[in-house]
Structure 1
């Protein structure tokens, strides 16, 4: 499985320290993401260092981050609220990176440790840590360390780790064996050209790099539009079944018109006006599955992405942020 990365930090966008924003791309005009550092797993296997236990684990997130949003959606879809508390960081970034603020979802400080910054949690786990301080983070309160900060692995971990103790988790398989090859193949190109493609486009610093990536992005959106014709979900027989592939794509599509179109120069076409199948699929998940709609905060998303830019002007539209279910 191709690994994704835990937030937007390597793109030097949301999730990167403010003083790094001036170098959003490498010398060739493109950007590259860092690999996640903590790669353990919650598991019910005998001898596991991190067995599934109520009240033991915490998921650290920010409303702006699509990678963290994936984990929030899957946590709620699988009914893992008793097993994974959520701690929200503020949607804005200061010179020290992700931080707490008594505003919107966040609190003035980490409710357990009193920390003001996410970086303090990383240093508690590893005093010598010298990489970026990213979300999502799955934290173990018993050993006081980070279990995992790789979003794609966190989704798979949530999908299986709690099957023996959480009925909803056992009832829903977001990565069923018979569909894994199809899911993996789709995830690969969607990640490279859509999930990560919006950042390759928005943070390109050379015209040819921008053009290459914006063309690839919209070619993949066109491909997805065709794929969803007559279907409710991306993979599976008939009209398809809900899987992690839907979750992984959806967090980008829900941000597209309100952030990437306006702020990341992904402005060839809009989801709401130019992709009827994608738009139908996006709204169905938003309105029909509480795990999607209840974890989405459009105004925080707009404000967070606007603050990536120097003037931090928040676009007024599009209005409404999400059109009605049957518009």
Structure 2
């Protein structure tokens, strides 16, 4: 795997996903079913993270399994933890939890990270084994789906255990697949009605926000961080912060509107404090995974250091903390240890010594 992510001009270019099927009752092969489909994710990756959040928000944690790769991506790509000799020693049900059994709520605390080697194999902490194929590498999963596949081995992967192939590896499409009401029949009755993250009356606005947030913020931090020329970096980092300013203004106006309606009742305001209208939508999910990584990683590692979210964007800062502290689907899928260790240990071109900064303290501030 090449260590370079940019073209000859020094501009970062993201790979186009290869597997683009859907899951639907009308599909000839891939039909909704409980415990048939699995998500292969990295807790560090923002694209995989939004699939995990969606799965949790849609109450599909007992319906779709999750396999978590090790946080360190070496020159062979993502790897799984080694499968124990005794298969009975792993309870498959643990994969049907919020984040595949690695619900490290305390990961916001600063750890002695220097003592953790890149080849650590702490079961349910660094990752977990592949229970379906007992593969050692994510690349083997791709090769099983398509022996001729020769691009990068990315996460998330939506896998069909019945046909033993990849359904989809494009995160924006995976979260739309999971949002389908066709899954509702498998959701436990005690979970209540399913949340629609893309309601028809808001779909146009959600799509519009997603489009410029993806190009300029989600992918913008990568364009700045992986730029291999000063000209490219300066162009991209300026564009990134211009668009963060844009989001800040949207959230400021949302807060002012809610304040006029609910006065000083902060709890009531935060209940409706979202990017689009008064409800949580896909637009919030897609922005969150970048913003929650911003201060712990992107400021220093990707040189996105005009300011931090906590110091420069009061409304964006309130918004991200509200999602994290007031919604388990966001908090329990956010693992700061995986996030920080992955970025700082997996990009030798950017951080050749592999030293992981301990700050900021704390990784996310209280609400």
> TM-score, normalized by length of structure 1?
0.89
The 5 Å alignment of 1:101-112 reads: 101=81, 102-103=121-122, 104-107=125-128, 109-112=129-132
Q: How does 1:118-137 map to 2 (within 5 A)?
A: 118-137=138-157
- Aligned counterpart in structure 2 of residue 84 of structure 1, from 64, 77, 80: 64
Cα pair 1:67 1:136 within 8 Å, conserved: yes
- Rg bigger for which structure? 2
Unaligned runs of 5+ in 2: 82-120, 256-272
- The aligned residue for residue 7 of structure 1 is none
**Secondary structure in 1 aligned to 2:38?**
strand
The equivalent of 1:316 in structure 2 is 358
Q: In the alignment, what sits opposite 2:269?
A: none
Aligned residue number for residue 62 of structure 1 = 42
Once the 2 structures are TM-superposed, how far is the Cα of residue 205 of structure 1 from its aligned partner?
1.4
Question: Is 1:290 aligned with 2:328?
Answer: yes
> What corresponds to 2:135 in structure 1?
115
Are 1:194 and 2:232 counterparts? no
Distance 1:215 1:178 in 2: 34
| Structure 1 counterpart of 2:195, from 172, 176, 182 | 172
- Pair 1:254 & 2:292 matched: yes
Q: CA deviation at 1:165?
A: 3.4
Q: Which string of whole-angstrom CA distances, capped at 9 and with x for unpartnered residues, describes residues 182-218 of structure 1?
A: 1111111100110000000011111121111111100
Q: Does 1:28 align with 2:9?
A: yes
Q: CA deviation at 1:164?
A: 3.8
Q: Pick from 295, 298, 303: which aligns with 2:341?
A: 303
Q: Specify which of 75, 86, 90 is matched with residue 55 of structure 2.
A: 75
Checking the alignment, whether the CA contact within 8 Å between 1:235 and 1:241 is kept in structure 2 is yes
Mean CA deviation greater in 208-217 or 251-260:
208-217
How far is the alpha carbon of 1:252 from its aligned partner? 0.1
Q: What is the DSSP-based 3-state SS (H/G/I as helix, E as strand, rest coil) of the residue aligned with 2:304?
A: coil
Q: Which residue number in structure 2 is paired with residue 267 of structure 1?
A: 305
Residue of structure 2 in register with 1:43 after alignment: 24
Deviations 1:53-93 (A, max 9, x none): 11101100011100000000000001001221000100101
CA distance in 1, matches of 2:178, 2:250: 27
- Contact 1:44 1:162 (8 Å CA) reproduced: no
Aligned to 1:96: 76
CA apart distance, 1:24: 2.6
* 2:188 corresponds to 1:208: no
- TM-score, reference length from structure 2: 0.80
Q: Name the CA distance, whole Å, in 2 between partners of 1:266 and 1:180.
A: 31
Assess if the C-alpha contact under 8 Å between 1:194 and 1:221 holds in 2: yes
Structure-2 separation of matches of 1:140 and 1:203: 33
Q: How big is each residue's C-alpha offset from its partner over 1:220-261, in whole Å with a ceiling of 9 and x where there is no partner?
A: 11111110014310012xxx2100000000000000000000
What CA distance in whole angstroms lies between the structure 2 residues aligned with 1:25 and 1:243? Answer: 32
Select between 78-87 and 245-254 the one with higher mean Cα deviation: 78-87
Using the alignment, how far apart are the partners of 1:29 and 1:126 within structure 2? 31
* Aligned match of 1:159: 179
Q: Determine if contact 2:205/2:276 at 8 Å carries over to the other structure.
A: yes
Contact 2:5 2:13 in 1 (8 A): no
Matched position secondary structure for 1:35 = coil
Aligned to 1:146, the other structure's residue is in SS state: strand
Count of matched residue positions in the alignment of Structure 1 and Structure 2? 301
Please, what is the CA RMSD of the aligned residues?
1.4
- Deviation track 1:12-63 (CA, whole Å, cap 9, x = no partner) reads xxxxx4xx12x23111010111111111111123x54111111101100011
Please name the residue that 1:227 is paired with: 250
